[in-house]
Structure 1
Amino acid sequence: MSPTPSVDSPSTGDGAEPPQTPEDRVPEPRTAKNPFVAVVHDKVMRAPLFWSAVGRLPLYLISVSMVVFTASRGLSYFSAGLLLSGYSLGGAALAPFVARAVDRYGQPPVLLITGAVYPVALIGFVAADPEAVALQLVCVVVAGAAMPPISGCIRSLWSAPGNTERVGLSLEAVLGEVFVIGGPLLFSLVLIWGGAGSALVVGAVLTSVGAIGFAATRASRDRKVAPVTGKRDPLGALRSPALVRLLVLLLVAGCATGAYSVAVPAFVETHGSAGDIGMVFGVWGVGGILGGIWYGSRTLRRPSETVFAWGLLALAGASALVLAAWDNWSMGVALVVLGLLQSPVTALSYELISRTAREGYVTEAYTWAITVSVGGSAIGSQLGGLGLGAYGTSAPFLGAVVGMLVVAALAFGARRLFAAPAEPEASAGPAATAEPAAAVTSPA
């Protein structure tokens, strides 16, 4: 569109604008070629993105620190497992309801409350008497339940109208891999000057700071809350059949990939030494980062639900590569391929969650996805351990291949259910040419 001439600009008399000289032309604004660069420089989303990274970096630091801290106090690994399970179950059981409060009352109040309770509960766990296992269990359950819902909040912001949803959710998949690698590294860094208890306190404080900083951002404060008419549905986000079907897929996929957390370390130790486990898992994470960056920089030419189904089928093929690995080098290559495919599929699942979520329940929908994925991974780890003990590493790897094939088949069968709603056809007449009004509220 050409610039509008000023009132004192010369006219040609026939309504056409006079030709512009090179000096008169206004240069076109330069835009970032890389979508990720544009997202990072977005003035509205830049602050939430930063604070969400601060608050979620300690995710895996907390889990590792809790086990090491408990063992360092002379308690058994059974007690360590019990406390870690209590922490995980506290979050899994109550996180969706915390997220529902976000959808109802807004992000800042919930983030501020959980950002205050979470560190107090974890510091109470560190300060408790080593013999008071019941008190420690209460502290970790409260901490798990009060974990600030930063992931659901940032993903619901990316899904809001006007934001680059696909690139933002691809960045979420990349950050997930960064947290997997960065959490244990942060734990090792803290151990240089302190113990596992110090690492727990640092992780709790960072999470709290991230949640409070996120709540103070303009994007979080301005996020519209869907008006409540009558009583809230007790099923909440689970009233959507499409979302429930998607959650079933994520549960089965979590079972398939959860087997790797047991089988890969056993394979690496069998074909080398335990010291190689971190390196092999590290290259898996690097593959995930590269895959997420590649996907976010591309434009989809086919519907997301179709690409999602084909991506799951490709993941089944990558799982077969893992099954065929014969040493640690081939296992590393197979896991890189798995990671390259896993991040795009994860980003696509985020898009489908946003699409299938009911209005007013977007944050809760994302949190249910986290809950079923973690639960599926726990189930897969248990089943993988049983298969590993009975038949060796080939059993859990084969189970992962079968699981991913099942998930891909389910995804192909649900494509119509996951499809985006058809755009309403414009009616004939002058009104059809008018531009649609901008959305006033977000889907949530």
Structure 2
Amino acid sequence: MYSAYRKIFRAPGALGFSSAGFFARLPIAMAPIGIVAMLSQTSGEYWLAGAVSATFALTNALLSPQISRLVDRKGQTAVLLPTTVVSVIAFAALIFAANRDWPAWTFFLSALFAATMPSMPAMLRARWTEIFRGRPELNTAFAFESAADELVYIAGASLSVGLAVSLFPEAGMVASTGFLALGTSAFLVQRGTEPKVRVVKEGIRQGSAIWLRPVQIITLALIFVGSTFATAEVSAVAITKELGRPDTASLVIGVYATGSFIVGLILGALNPKMALQRQLLIALTVLALTALPLLVASSSVALLAAAVFFSGIAISPVFITAFGLIERRVPEAMLTEGVTWVMTGVGIGMAFGAFLSGWVVDTFGPSNGFWVSVFASAAAWVTVAVAQNTLAGERASSPELAPTS
């Protein structure tokens, strides 16, 4: 397994941009929970902290595809530099406003501007694609990125909350902002691996990637998949609290991501030859089947942790094959935007999943929250199953393109 990953990092510049990108994307996990940890302590109002965090997360979900579309047209450096500067300044303003107890509207305004934070996972996958387009190593690279995403979510949220609680309320957000600024800077100075811009010839209009059927199908499927993430978190917190062990919630959530992390690394090393749309359907089948034991796993923390571990093993395979399909079915000039739309789908799913599972827990009890995972994973399976022929098609037709240096 080690040799497969060693091979992709032999490519010139791969280790450098991947390392920088890992730190640059930590704010994806650190910022939303960091805002809650910071404002809940400085203002004492959880509703305000949650509202500001939701404002940032939802605005970022809407802006990210548009920023990535500009990246496809103008290049990573030209777009990421100004958007990151705006985001860093806005985060700094939010931290200062919280520290100085400024009016609540300043929190929301800062969160809106901070949402210009670009989608670093999409930028990383675009660079890997530029290096390994059409080669089997690309699947291994995507597997590594999916595993890295899991690691970010395991470590990022815990780090953000831990700093805010152990040091001072703004500590998590200070660290998150620092990672964004320094990580993105280190990423952008590595121009040798930056994807070339493929310019649409004059007189030909280029639409958005979201109008392509494969992007719509995969984004919809991952909205359902994303909802299973939030359901696992909400239900784990509710069940462990009911069991009188609220301190074990973070452990259970960490186990969920750990299973996905391990299987993702193994799948990337094996690099199966089966058609990607079939691999995605199989991964979603596993996701749906492993959701069922969650319904009877609320009697003990150990049983819950075991069921959650197995329910997470299909997450990375879903991501790996989904992004692989995007790379193969979306025109090269729309790749970054296409990947970002799929990630936006995950974010939307997490938002809806958190709301719906919270309502189910409040209405029917903690043990029933996982029904959202069962229905969501089944819906994702149906979405991909009925679209197998579409996903098996050729790369979507694109406007005539001319690469630029």
Alignment correspondent of 1:351: 324
Aligned counterpart, 1:227: 199
Offset at 1:306?
0.5
Matched, 1:45 2:14: yes
Work out whether 1:55 is the aligned partner of 2:24: yes
Distance 1:272 1:230, change over 3 A: farther
Alignment check: 8 A CA contact 2:239 2:367 kept: no
* C-alpha displacement of 1:192: 8.0
**2: CA distance between counterparts of 1:184 and 1:373?**
17
Provide the rounded CA distance (Å) in 1 between the counterparts of 2:202 and 2:208.
13
Distance 1:324 1:159 in 2: 42
Measured after TM superposition, the shift of residue 169 of structure 1 is: 0.8
Paired residue for 1:218?
191
- 2:30·2:160 contact (CA, 8 Å) conserved in 1? yes
1:303 and 2:295 correspond: no
- Counting helix residues as a fraction of each chain, which structure ranks higher? 2
* C-alpha distance in structure 1 between counterparts of 2:292 and 2:327, whole Å: 30
Q: Is 1:122 aligned to residue 91 of structure 2?
A: yes
Pick from 97, 101, 105 the counterpart of residue 74 of structure 2: 105
Distance 2:103 2:201 in 1: 47
Give yes or no for contact 2:73–2:198 (8 Å, CA) kept in 1: yes
CA RMSD of aligned residues (A): 2.3
Against the structure 1 CA distance between its residues 80 and 213, is the aligned structure 2 distance closer, same or farther, given a 3 Å change threshold?
same
Distance 1:232 1:217 in 2: 32
Residues 271-282 of structure 1 mapped to structure 2, 5 A cutoff: 271-282=243-254
Query: Do structure 1's residue 370 and structure 2's residue 343 form an aligned pair?
Result: yes
Q: How does 1:20-169 map to 2 (within 5 A)?
A: 34-128=3-97, 129-144=100-115, 146-160=116-130, 162=132, 164-169=137-142
Task: Please report how far the alpha carbon of residue 276 of structure 1 lies from its aligned counterpart in structure 2 after TM superposition.
Answer: 0.5
Shift of 1:74: 2.5
Range that drifts further, 315-324 or 265-274: 265-274
Counterparts in 2 of 1:303 and 1:81: CA distance versus 1, 3 Å? same
Residues 208-254 of structure 1 deviation map (CA, whole Å, 9 limit, x = unaligned): 11111111113444x21111224675741022112112211111222
Greater mean deviation of Cα atoms: 300-309 or 39-48: 39-48
Greater Cα shift, 108-117 or 377-386 = 108-117
Q: Once the two structures are superposed, what CA deviation does each residue of 1:97-120 show, in whole Å capped at 9, x if it has no partner? A: 111110000011112112222211
Q: Normalising to structure 1: TM-score of the pair?
A: 0.83
Contact 1:52–1:211 (CA under 8 A) maintained in structure 2: yes
Q: Which runs of 5+ in 2 are unaligned?
A: 396-400
Q: Secondary structure at the match of 2:140?
A: helix
Name the CA distance, whole Å, in 2 between partners of 1:278 and 1:198: 20
Equivalent position of 1:26 in the other structure: none
Q: Which amino acid aligns with 1:345?
A: V
Output the TM-score relative to the length of structure 2.
Answer: 0.91
Write the distance in 1 (CA, Å) between the matches of 2:159 and 2:35: 14
Q: Aligned letter for 1:200?
A: M
Greater displacement, 257-266 / 203-212: 257-266
Q: 1:302 to 1:113 in 2, by over 3 A?
A: same
Deviations 1:413-439 (A, max 9, x none): 2111111539xxxxxxxxxxxxxxxx9
Aligned length: 393
C-alpha change, 1:364 and 1:309, in structure 2 (3 Å) is same
SS of aligned partner of 1:43: coil
Cα pair 1:237 1:357 within 8 Å, conserved: yes
Q: Is the 8 A contact 1:55 1:209 kept in 2?
A: yes
Contact 2:142–2:320, Cα closer than 8 Å, also in 1: yes
> How far is the alpha carbon of 1:33 from its aligned partner?
5.6
Q: 1:386 aligns with which of 356, 359, 374?
A: 359
Task: Report the CA distance between 1:301 and its aligned residue.
Answer: 3.2
- Tell me the SS of whatever aligns to 2:170: helix
Asked whether the 8 Å contact 1:45–1:219 carries over to 2, the reply is no
Q: Please say if residues 34 and 164 of structure 2, whose CA atoms lie closer than 8 Å, have aligned partners that are also in contact.
A: no
User: SS state of the match for residue 394, structure 2?
Assistant: coil
Which amino acid in the other structure matches residue 106 of structure 1? G
Tell me, in whole angstroms, the C-alpha distance in 1 between the residues paired with 2:161 and 2:383: 41
Q: Alignment partner of 2:201: what SS? A: coil
Distance 1:256 1:185, change over 3 A: closer
Aligned partner of 2:256 in structure 1 is 284
Deviates more, 1:101-110 or 1:190-199: 190-199
C-alpha distance in structure 2 between counterparts of 1:192 and 1:141, whole Å: 25
The question of whether the paired residues in 2 share the 8 Å contact of 1:171 and 1:292 is answered with yes
Going from structure 1 to structure 2, the CA distance change for 1:219 and 1:244 (only over 3 Å counts) comes to farther
Distance 1:151 1:299 in 2: 21
Once the two structures are superposed, what CA deviation does each residue of 1:358-394 show, in whole Å capped at 9, x if it has no partner? Answer: 3311111111111111111111111111111111134
Name the CA distance, whole Å, in 1 between partners of 2:348 and 2:167.
32
Alpha-carbon distance in structure 2 between the residues aligned to 1:306 and 1:268? 37
Amino acid of the structure 2 residue aligned with 1:252: F
8 A contact 1:174–1:292 mirrored in 2:
yes
**% identical aligned pairs:** 21
Judged with a 3 Å threshold, the aligned counterparts in structure 2 of structure 1 residues 235 and 381 are, in CA distance, closer, same or farther, namely farther
Q: Which residue of 2 aligns with 1:397?
A: 370
The question of whether the paired residues in 2 share the 8 Å contact of 1:291 and 1:339 is answered with no
Structure 2 letter corresponding to 1:291? V
One-letter amino acid matched to 2:322 = S
Q: Secondary structure at the match of 1:227?
A: strand
